[in-house]
């Protein structure tokens, strides 16, 4: 089985990224061939600074390695280093419906926030994302709940291509965690934790100091009650229960039973301690790795060479079946 997923290099990675994606990446190394891509080409579809982009690519690489990705057990590379991604994106545009792109929720949300320019790249983003996945004929794609629509588009594109040109691409399936797929903002628990939140007080960054994490968790919005139970009218407590259950590797019901009658104070302290204990080794290892930029570049270069060896075969097959270029 082959796993593929891409991660944005923009913004400081937070607990939602970690639980929803990075934790799955690490576990994916034990389920078969794992391919992970830092998507710098996706990052240029919104306003950005070129120098900062190169820095955040290295930041993200260091976080992934610190979290447990092993270049000897997975392929980790920078999207922009493998040109076949953009070529396949163009080929797939021929079997992607304009109406499907118009219905993409993330395009609507992101374009509404762009004041100066809504780029065609932002609109075309899902086609490149489909190319990222299909280029490696991935069986499984670990994603957060917010990416389900994009994964469904990739499936539709693969099926449409296969129906028109013959069986070429694996139709991928999503792997979404049952608990923790959507970690919510601690101050706005009805909204997903985001790197671009209006305030940082509800976002737990992977690189936050322990004291900062503890303060954020203890200040998390809850409600006027005192019961530690999941409920639609208790989104704040539900979010904290989900966080603790994922980090401990137990069901939410076990958390509810453990803190039955304990009140919010002790529960929040337990969540804070668990998050601090979970992220501290990653933060410490990150700083060690980030200092050696030559090593990070070497990891990305080696990963790109491995990725390209797969990508060139896929592109050759797709071109041949579409009648692009001379026959093979």
Lowest-pLDDT choice from 18-22, 35-39, 72-76, 297-301: 18-22
d(CA 195, CA 17): 9
Same domain, 152 and 204: no
Q: What CATH number corresponds to the domain at position 49?
A: 3.40.50.620
Instruction: Please give the Cα distance from 261 to 210 (Å, whole number).
Output: 27
Pair (173, 302) in one structural domain = yes
Q: Is the domain of 243 the same as that of 283?
A: yes
Q: Are strands 173-175 and 140-142 parallel, antiparallel or unpaired?
A: parallel
Tally the domains of the chain: 2
Close Cβ partners of 66 (under 8 Å, ≥ 6 residues apart)? 281, 282, 283, 285, 286, 288, 289
**Is there a domain that residue 95 lies in?**
yes
Give the per-residue pLDDT at 119.
84
My answer on whether 219 and 175 are in the same domain is no
Is 254 found in the same domain as 150? no
> Mean of the pLDDT values across residues 280-286?
96
Share of the chain above pLDDT 90, in %: 74
Q: Are residues 93 and 236 in the same domain?
A: no
Residues 64 and 211 in one domain: no
Residue 66 belongs to some domain of the structure: yes
Domain presence at residue 68: yes
Average pLDDT estimate for 88-104: 94
Q: What's the domain range around 274?
A: 200-287
Mean pLDDT, residues 149-165: 95
| 193 within domain boundaries | no
Same domain, 167 and 206: no
Would you say residue 112 has pLDDT above 90? no
Q: Give the predicted TM-score (pTM) of the model.
A: 0.91
> What pLDDT shows up at residue 83?
97
Domain contains 185: no
Q: According to the model, what pLDDT value does residue 19 have?
A: 87
Q: From the centroid of its chain, how far is CA 136? A: 17
Is the model's pLDDT at 121 over the cut of 90? no
pLDDT tens sequence across 306-317: 999 999 999 999
The yes-or-no verdict on residue 122 having pLDDT over 90 is no
**Residues 299, 243: one domain?**
no
The answer, yes or no, to whether residue 115 has pLDDT greater than 90, is: no
Return the higher-pLDDT residue of 179 and 293.
Answer: 293
């Amino acid at each position: 089985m082959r796993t593929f997923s891409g991660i944005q290099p923009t913004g400081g990675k937070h607990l939602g990224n970690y639980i929803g994606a990075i934790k799955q990446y690490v576990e994916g190394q034990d389920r078969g061939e794992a391919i992970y891509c830092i998507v710098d080409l996706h990052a240029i579809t919104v306003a950005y600074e070129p120098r900062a982009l190169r820095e955040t690519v290295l930041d993200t690489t260091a976080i992934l390695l610190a979290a447990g990705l092993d270049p000897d057990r997975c392929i980790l590379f920078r999207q922009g280093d493998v040109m076949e991604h953009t070529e396949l994106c163009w080929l797939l545009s021929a079997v992607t419906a304009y109406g499907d792109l118009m219905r993409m929720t993330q395009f609507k949300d992101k374009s509404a926030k762009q004041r100066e320019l809504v780029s065609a790249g932002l609109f075309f983003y899902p086609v490149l994302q489909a190319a990222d996945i299909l280029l490696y004929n991935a069986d499984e794609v670990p994603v957060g709940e917010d990416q389900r629509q994009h994964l469904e588009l990739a499936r539709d594109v693969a099926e449409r291509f296969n129906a028109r040109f013959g069986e070429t691409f694996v139709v991928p399936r999503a792997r979404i965690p049952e608990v923790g797929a959507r970690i919510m903002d601690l101050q706005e628990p009805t909204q997903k934790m985001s790197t671009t939140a209006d305030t940082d007080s509800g976002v737990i960054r992977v690189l936050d100091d322990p004291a900062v994490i503890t303060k954020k968790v203890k200040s998390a919005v809850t409600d006027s009650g005192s019961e530690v139970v999941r409920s639609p009218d208790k989104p704040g407590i539900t979010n904290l229960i989900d966080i603790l259950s994922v980090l401990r590797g137990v069901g939410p019901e076990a958390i509810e039973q453990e803190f039955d009658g304990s009140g919010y104070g002790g529960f929040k302290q337990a969540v804070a301690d668990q998050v601090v204990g979970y992220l501290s080794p990653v933060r410490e290892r990150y700083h060690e790795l980030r200092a050696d930029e030559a090593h990070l570049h070497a990891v990305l270069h080696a990963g790109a060479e491995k990725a390209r060896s797969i990508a060139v075969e896929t592109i050759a097959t797709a071109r041949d079946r579409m009648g692009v270029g001379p026959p093979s």
